[in-house]
Amino acid sequence: MIASPRLIVLRHRLVPLLLALLTALPLAARGQAEETESVIVVGGDRYHPPYEFLDDEGQPAGYNVELTRAIAEVMGLEVRIELATWSEVRRGLESGEIDILQGMSYSEARTQAFDFAPPHAIVHQSIFARRGTPPVESLEALRGQEVIVQRGDIMHDFLLEQDLDIRPITTDTHADALRSLAAGQHDYALVANLPALYLSRELGLTNLEPVARPFSLRYGYAVRHGNADLLAQFSEGLAILKNTGRHQAIYDRWLGPLEQAEGIPWKRIGLVGAVLSALLLLVLGGIVVWNRMLKRQVAAHTKELRQRQQQLIQADKMASLGILVSGVAHEINNPSGLLLLNLPVLREAYDDARPILEAHYREHGDFSFGGLPYSRMRDEIPPMLDEMLEGTQRIKRIVGDLKDFARQDSRDLDDALDLNQVTRTATRLVDNSIRQATDHFATHYAAELPKVRGNTQRIEQVVINLVLNACQALEHRDQGIRLSTRHDPAVDRVLLEVADQGRGIPAEALNRLTDPFFTTRRECGGTGLGLSVSAGIVHEHGGELTFASRPGEGTTVTLSLPVGEPPPSANPRRRP
């Protein structure tokens, strides 16, 4: 919670000596008793609300502090947050006593000494003046003026780098700068907009107002130049928070109210606004209710249209794939047929010629045969011919499987399915994907598995999708996949389990895996249709798809099909 105005003022009046002593101690000595190699020291400004400050109990608080703790939580880091005057923490980062600053404005000049993470906020720098001061539009108008800045702040750096004939007056904090300006000292203050608005309101500095906003700067984590590993961890944690919406929630909690309140004269909002709000409440309520009803109807209709569009696209793709596969299969079958016909003949011819070659070898010694010594070739030619024949037969099987899979199938569920055979065919079709994904692929097929009534090609499509999903879940080749079938006589069903040792699925996503367009692999090109289509096919067969998974421990998908006839509702085209 952001401290109240009175508590902030009280803290700075009652404990200035304590804060001075704390900030005077060397940063390394302050944390020496608890510091370990695993603790990351995160530095920040002790009085820079709402970004970072010490609360009424002397504990770090603010937007930056909560964001740092959230990153430490998701990345498994141990951090200690040290807040002191800005110039001190900046020196601590330069000397290595502090590992990372949780909020630093970016500039090209600063990249010579520091490396920056992607920004987690945009900080607007404002020129503040006392009411009645002639307005200015840019820093050029401040030539010859005394301008108060925080020591070591980005605006202090800028004034030192630029030759603008502006006399910088430095203070330890934004609050000190605003107090000096409000007391009639110096001409202007060049400070961050939100902290200045916050402090002006909390400290009751009613004679100050922003007159210009010359800069908008990226604001984020910074490390000493070269400390890329630590910066990468915080950048990754920040990306996770942004993708999950947690960063936005933290941002809205601390900075949202101030951004919305900027420039609004709250004290002038009185009875008139309350009366108008009451009069409009009923009208707005009716509009909101009506709008929500329309949105639900439009969303439902849009979802239906998108599903139909995706179905048409998928159907067109499958039709094109069927034509393509048929043509390719025909072209492959011709040369593979010649190989299947000629390779056995070549093997027999070599067997017939071998006694003659052996006799010549014994009588005349070694000789060249096919460009290599006969003594080597006589042992290698037979297995070469056998491997060529086996490979050609495998090509023929794969082409046959592809033709069966791509063939325009009926929705009738009249086949007597052997789940073992269907699974073997499916794994042959995706053999290349399996080989690329893992070195540990195992199968166990139950003996004498009962037959299932259904559509062979459609169940084959389901098995292929499950195996490909398991391959895509693996993070390295040492992780494995296991397929096993069995019969459960208690419920009279045959089961196929596809278990992988991959990344696993979060608990909140398990119940949505078969929802259309839901996918955990959107960044890898996933459409979220594979499991949805598979679940529909299984349902037509009166079966079930169940999922068990834990993040980091892999996933097991169980396909369950009833033995015998599918339920009548699963096949509306069948007649009694």
Within a domain: 575: no
Within a domain: 424: yes
pLDDT for residue 416: 86
Amino acid, single-letter form, for residue 219 = Y
Residues 233 and 303 in one domain: no
Q: Taking 50 as the threshold, does the pLDDT of residue 572 lie above it?
A: no
Amino acid, single-letter form, for residue 11 = R
Residue where one domain finishes, among candidates 208, 240, 268: 268
Within a domain: 252: yes
Q: How far is CA 147 from the centre of its chain?
A: 45
Within a domain: 556: yes
Within a domain: 472: yes
Within a domain: 18: yes
Residue where one domain finishes, among candidates 384, 406, 428: 406
Q: Could you tell me which residues come within 8 angstroms of residue 270 by beta carbon, excluding any fewer than 6 positions away?
A: none
Q: Could you tell me which residues come within 8 angstroms of residue 450 by beta carbon, excluding any fewer than 6 positions away?
A: 487, 494, 563, 564
Q: Could you tell me which residues come within 8 angstroms of residue 415 by beta carbon, excluding any fewer than 6 positions away?
A: 453, 454, 455, 456
pLDDT for residue 34: 46
Stronger pLDDT, 300 or 34, i.e. the higher one: 300
Residues 209 and 299 in one domain: no
Residues 295 and 228 in one domain: no
The C-alpha atoms of residue 491 and residue 448 are separated, in whole angstroms, by 17
**Among candidate residues 574, 322, 272, the one with its CA nearest the CA of residue 457:** 322
In tens, the pLDDT along 140-182 reads: 888 889 999 999 999 998 888 887 889 999 999 999 999 999 9
In tens, the pLDDT along 437-458 reads: 999 999 999 998 999 988 888 8
Contact 467, 484 (CB under 8 A): no
Q: Taking 80 as the threshold, does the pLDDT of residue 266 lie above it?
A: no
The C-alpha atoms of residue 350 and residue 352 are separated, in whole angstroms, by 5
- 3-state SS assignment for residue 119: coil
User: Which CATH number belongs to the domain containing residue 465 in this structure?
Assistant: 3.30.565.10
Domain tally for the chain? 3
The C-alpha atoms of residue 116 and residue 104 are separated, in whole angstroms, by 8
**Among candidate residues 74, 98, 71, 70, the one with its CA nearest the CA of residue 84:** 98
Contact 277, 271 (CB under 8 A): no
- 3-state SS assignment for residue 554: coil
Confidence band for 10, pLDDT divided at 50, 70 and 90: very low
Residues 253 and 143 in one domain: yes
CA distances from 488 to 177, 446, 449, 470, 566 (A): 78, 11, 10, 24, 17
Residues 292 and 380 in one domain: yes
Q: Is 194 exposed, middle or buried (0-12, 13-18, 19+ CB in 10 A)?
A: buried
In tens, the pLDDT along 510-555 reads: 777 777 656 665 555 444 556 777 888 888 888 998 889 888 889 9
- 3-state SS assignment for residue 85: coil
The C-alpha atoms of residue 455 and residue 60 are separated, in whole angstroms, by 65
Residues 201 and 281 in one domain: no
Within a domain: 576: no
Strands 39-45 and 78-84: parallel
Residues 185 and 315 in one domain: no
Structural element, H or E, at residue 517: none
Residues 169 and 185 in one domain: yes
Residues 131 and 261 in one domain: yes
User: Which CATH number belongs to the domain containing residue 86 in this structure?
Assistant: 3.40.190.10
Strands 188-192 and 146-150: parallel
Residues 264 and 286 in one domain: no
Instruction: Find the range with the poorest average confidence among 148-152, 217-221, 463-467, 536-540.
Output: 536-540
Residues 185 and 318 in one domain: no
Query: Which residues on adjacent β-strands are paired with residue 61?
Result: 53
Contact 571, 543 (CB under 8 A): no
- Compute the Cα dihedral for 456, 458, 463, 468 and give only its sign: positive
Contact 408, 458 (CB under 8 A): no
Residues 469 and 535 in one domain: yes
The C-alpha atoms of residue 566 and residue 571 are separated, in whole angstroms, by 8
With pLDDT > 70 as the criterion, what percentage of the chain qualifies? 80
The C-alpha atoms of residue 471 and residue 430 are separated, in whole angstroms, by 10
Residue where one domain finishes, among candidates 221, 252, 268: 268
- The torsion of the CA quartet 487, 489, 490, 495, rounded to 10 degrees, works out to 20
Q: Taking 90 as the threshold, does the pLDDT of residue 135 lie above it?
A: no
Contact 83, 57 (CB under 8 A): no
Residue span of the structural domain in which 470 resides: 415-570
Phi, psi dihedrals of residue 99, rounded to the nearest 5°: -85, -40
Q: What is the pTM for the complete model shown?
A: 0.42
Query: Which conformational region is residue 555 in: left (phi greater than 0), alpha (psi within -120 to 50 degrees), or beta?
Result: beta
Within a domain: 560: yes
